[in-house]
Amino acid sequence: MGAGEIEVLCTLTDATVTVMPADTVSVTGWGRTAPTTARLVHPCTYEEAAAAVRGWGTRGGIPRGLGRAYGDAAQNAGGAVLDMTGLDRIHAIDVDGGTVLCDAGVSLHRLMEVLLPLGWFVPVTPGTRYVTVGGAIGADIHGKNHHVSGSFARHVLSFELLTADGGIRTVGRGTPLFDATAGGMGLTGVILTATVRLQPVATSLMSVDTERAADLDDLMARLTATDHRYRYSVAWIDLLARGTSMGRSVLTRGDHAPLDALPARARRHPLAFRPGQFPSAPAFLPEGLLGRTTVGLFNELWYRKAPRARAGELQKISTFFHPLDGVPHWNRVYGRGGFVQYQFVVGYGQEEALRRIVQRISVRRCPSFLAVLKRFGEGDPGWLSFPMPGWTLALDIPANLPGLGTFLDELDEEVAAADGRVYLAKDARLRPELLAEMYPRLGEFQSLRRELDPRGVFTSDLSRRLGL
Amino acid sequence: MKDAFGIPQSLLILGGTSEIALATARRLIVRRTRTVWLAGRPSPALEQAAEQLRGMGADVRTVAFDALDSESHETVLGKVFAEGDVDMVLLAFGVLGDQARDENEPLSAVRVAQTNYTGAVSAGLVCARALQTQGHGSLVVLSSVAGERARRSNFIYGSSKAGLDAFAQGLGDALHGTGVHVMVVRPGFVRTRMTAGLPQAPLATTPEAVATAVETGLRRRSETVWVPGALRLVMAALRHAPRAVFRRLPI
């Protein structure tokens, strides 16, 4: 499948240069911190993308999808940013075998719209559907099924990569370029198309078990004991709770509902995908809406409203996986100052470090209402891929919180000392010296980059900040 | 690059012996800053300042820079920017002058104006262009409350800072949306070498307090920072005081 497209890609010539729309704009990540200015280029064809890459000047460029990376991964001060969302065609779907060949700019939302009626689902989805396939590979994203299914790149069979020389290569699994690109934050080249293996589903509903955990130890015990029974598992954790209830949580775990679990009415359209949406968050909101009081109140209510134990509740895909997608631009609730998302993983056996970190966050009263804890399964071979077997905690914090920078630096030290790491797709503030400790294969990544891209054509604010 | 909290990794200080600037550098080095350029007239004090910052683990280089020699700014500063991105420029040079003497020696008064204002205009514009080219960075300008409303006791210095302040505000608006952030810092009376021997004014502050305010301003991406913050209100009142009253105030 798709052989025709690949032939065409490989015979690109310079003759097909066209004038592309480009505008100079201020760009930030989803956290809306550290804005920088770049030329935003909107290619609609592979030829235009290749022409853009060949024409980049000394400050280089970086591909960008839907801008859901929280930090500075998809911005490039003074250079170019390649808006990939114009390359959004789905080329071929193998309905029997369960694979899809699509452009890198296709969003997981679009894939769900197209694939669910056919009985297929994306292999991995993060907390938002609004990420592109290219971004999913570049950040090697994970979802609630990581303990079973691994990260996104595990399900990618091959992709087409536009490299710094302007050429296009087909990259298959098991090659160094594949492993450098999976989690490589767009720095090895521009993914143009990808072939992805899909997950079969009988219905578009989820069967969800909910339970509460009274504290962190209870939570970890429950996750350890029964996670293997569920394909999807995550725990929302109240990081403002103190004392004996520190780490109290609500676990939501489940799987795709089988057809016979649906009520008769729903069985008529078992694969319908109707996410539904609220109005957007307003463009200007004051800062400090999410302070300790409001978040504390929210967390209290959220915990109390969750059932102590409930099994087999049917939920929509959007409710289970992507509750925040219901409010477009929800990131605006943090106001002009934006927010920082901190996500780290520490391996199994490092539970003490996790406990210390949760305690520090709780003692410091960081107002975080979007904190989740999850157990990861086996890691994948991506050199800069984030997941590894262990515990991962993700939390959002308003960037304006005084002293937050120093506090997160201290958490980094704990994480690094426990042989853990932080997630680059969410990072906007890591101390560069810690990167090599956290990602032992950083050296290989850097030398592959030097070889493949000696002039540094692919550059982002993230790569400048951390010396990637 | 600056991080999510606006802390720069590389810093260029114009006026490399300024106590406020060095206090700021020390504070930023503790957080993230690794590369520091100290631009100033070559002197043992400049080298000493560099040595002190090196002791904190930063890579510090000095560069010969004279605020009065506007023609050289393009070349001197161009070389610094050619070495790599500068995430933050701290425009910190300035002289207080001696009001009583300067009133009788127009040439020394002009020196104050040239250092504080025209020197800053040329250096500021050179840096602004370079920052705009790199698409990011903060230009932090040390102004003064003295520039908010000229006082009888130091209007030569005050008028030069008033010019600088207005220039920096306008530059900030010109650069809005270019990725370059211009922040005007208006400290009150700061206890430094420059003010040694002067009678201390109310709401006096320290270089360290100014440094803290700069760090906070960077995090908030502020456009104007008063140190201490109470001066914002005090000066709002003084700005509207009638001339006849203002003239008689013991300030």
Alpha carbon distance B96, B189 (integer Å):
12
Give the minimum alpha-carbon distance from B2 to chain A in angstroms, rounded to a whole number. 7
Residue A2 has pLDDT above 50, yes or no: no
Whether residue A328 is preceded by a cis peptide bond, meaning omega within 30 degrees of 0, is no
pLDDT, residue B92, reads 98
pLDDT, residue B32, reads 96
Residue A245 has pLDDT above 50, yes or no: yes
Query: A31: which chain B residues are within 8 Å (Cβ-Cβ)?
Result: 4
Residue A291 has pLDDT above 90, yes or no: no
Using the structure block, give the residue that is written with the tokens 């895909």.
A317
Give residue-wise pLDDT tens across range A44-86.
999 999 999 999 989 999 999 999 999 999 999 999 999 999 9
Closest in B4, B32, B135 to A71, CB measured = B4
What is the chain B residue with the closest CA to A29? B4
Distance of CA A363 to the CA centre of its chain: 28
Give residue-wise pLDDT tens across range A293-352.
899 999 999 999 999 999 999 999 999 999 999 999 999 999 889 999 999 999 999 999
Of residues A442 and A297, the one with the higher pLDDT is A442
Contacting B with CB below 8 Å, chain A residues are 26, 31, 33-38, 59, 71-72, 76-79, 336-338, 340, 399-400, 402, 404-406, 428-429, 431-432, 461, 464-465
Closest in A33, A78, A400 to B136, CB measured = A78
ipTM for the complex shown:
0.93
Q: Which CATH architecture has domain A205-432?
A: 3-Layer(aba) Sandwich (3.40)
% of chain A with per-residue pLDDT over 90 = 88
What is the chain B residue with the closest CA to A466? B1
Residue A15 has pLDDT above 70, yes or no: no
Query: A340: which chain B residues are within 8 Å (Cβ-Cβ)?
Result: 4
pLDDT, residue A20, reads 62
What is the chain A residue with the closest CA to B219? A400
B204 close to B188: Cβ distance less than 8 angstroms: yes
The terminus-to-terminus CA distance of chain A in angstroms comes to 35
The terminus-to-terminus CA distance of chain B in angstroms comes to 42
Give residue-wise pLDDT tens across range B146-198.
999 999 999 999 999 999 999 999 999 999 989 999 999 999 999 998 888 88
The mean pLDDT value for A81-98 works out to 97
Closest in A36, A71, A405 to B136, CB measured = A36
The mean pLDDT value for B44-52 works out to 98
Alpha carbon distance B137, B179 (integer Å):
7
pLDDT, residue B251, reads 76
Give the minimum alpha-carbon distance from B48 to chain A in angstroms, rounded to a whole number. 27
3 state DSSP class of B144: coil
Of residues A359 and A18, the one with the higher pLDDT is A359
Query: A34: which chain B residues are within 8 Å (Cβ-Cβ)?
Result: 1-4, 6, 136
Among A26, A30, A36, A81, which would you mutate to test the B interface (most chain B Cβ atoms within 10 Å of its Cβ)? Answer: A36
Residue B100 has pLDDT above 50, yes or no: yes
pLDDT, residue A178, reads 98
pLDDT, residue A290, reads 83
Nearest to A199 by CA among A300, A314, A103, A122: A122
Residue B208 has pLDDT above 60, yes or no: yes
Nearest to B73 by CA among B22, B126, B17: B126
A409 close to A416: Cβ distance less than 8 angstroms: no
pLDDT, residue B63, reads 97
* Chain-chain contact of B31 with A406 (C-beta, under 8 angstroms): yes
Mean pLDDT of chain B: 96
Banded model confidence at residue A440, pLDDT cuts 50, 70, 90: very high
Exposed / middle / buried, residue B170 (Cβ in 10 Å: 0-12, 13-18, 19+): exposed
Annotated catalytic residue, options B65, B157, B167, B226: B157
Nearest to B192 by CA among B25, B50, B18: B18
Give the minimum alpha-carbon distance from B108 to chain A in angstroms, rounded to a whole number. 42
Give residue-wise pLDDT tens across range A158-190.
999 999 999 999 999 999 999 999 999 999 999
B157 is catalytic: yes
* Chain-chain contact of A429 with B5 (C-beta, under 8 angstroms): yes
* Per-residue 3-state assignment (H helix, E strand, C coil) for A91-152: EEEECCCCEEEEECCCEHHHHHHHHHHHCEECCCCCCCCCCEHHHHHHCCCCCCCHHHHCCH
State the pTM of this model: 0.93
Give A392's strand partners: A345, A374
* Chain-chain contact of B2 with A34 (C-beta, under 8 angstroms): yes
A–B CB contacts, 8 A cutoff, strictly below: 75
Banded model confidence at residue A282, pLDDT cuts 50, 70, 90: confident
Tokens of A245: 């209830």
Give residue-wise pLDDT tens across range A380-433.
999 999 999 999 999 999 999 999 999 999 999 999 999 999 999 999 999 999
Alpha carbon distance B141, B89 (integer Å):
8
Residue ranges and CATH numbers for the domains of chain B are 10-248 (3.40.50.720)
What is the chain B residue with the closest CA to A464? B1
* Chain-chain contact of A77 with B1 (C-beta, under 8 angstroms): yes
The mean pLDDT value for A22-26 works out to 87
% of chain A with per-residue pLDDT over 70 = 96
Give the minimum alpha-carbon distance from A337 to chain B in angstroms, rounded to a whole number. 6
Residue A376 has pLDDT above 90, yes or no: yes
Give residue-wise pLDDT tens across range B101-158.
999 999 999 999 999 999 999 999 999 999 999 999 999 999 999 999 999 999 999 9
The mean pLDDT value for B46-68 works out to 98
* Chain-chain contact of A34 with B6 (C-beta, under 8 angstroms): yes
* Chain-chain contact of B4 with A340 (C-beta, under 8 angstroms): yes
Among A58, A426, A464, which would you mutate to test the B interface (most chain B Cβ atoms within 10 Å of its Cβ)? Answer: A464
Mean pLDDT of chain A: 93
Radius of gyration of chain A from its Cα atoms, rounded to whole angstroms: 22
Distance of CA B222 to the CA centre of its chain: 15
Residue B207 has pLDDT above 70, yes or no: yes
DSSP code of B6? Answer: -
* Chain-chain contact of B220 with A337 (C-beta, under 8 angstroms): yes
Query: B135: which chain A residues are within 8 Å (Cβ-Cβ)?
Result: 36-38, 59, 76-79
Closest in B5, B7, B136 to A37, CB measured = B136
pLDDT, residue A284, reads 82
Give the minimum alpha-carbon distance from B58 to chain A in angstroms, rounded to a whole number. 13
pLDDT, residue A1, reads 38
Residues near A456 by beta carbon (within 8 Å), at least 6 away in sequence: A60
Give the minimum alpha-carbon distance from B171 to chain A in angstroms, rounded to a whole number. 17
DSSP code of B213? Answer: H
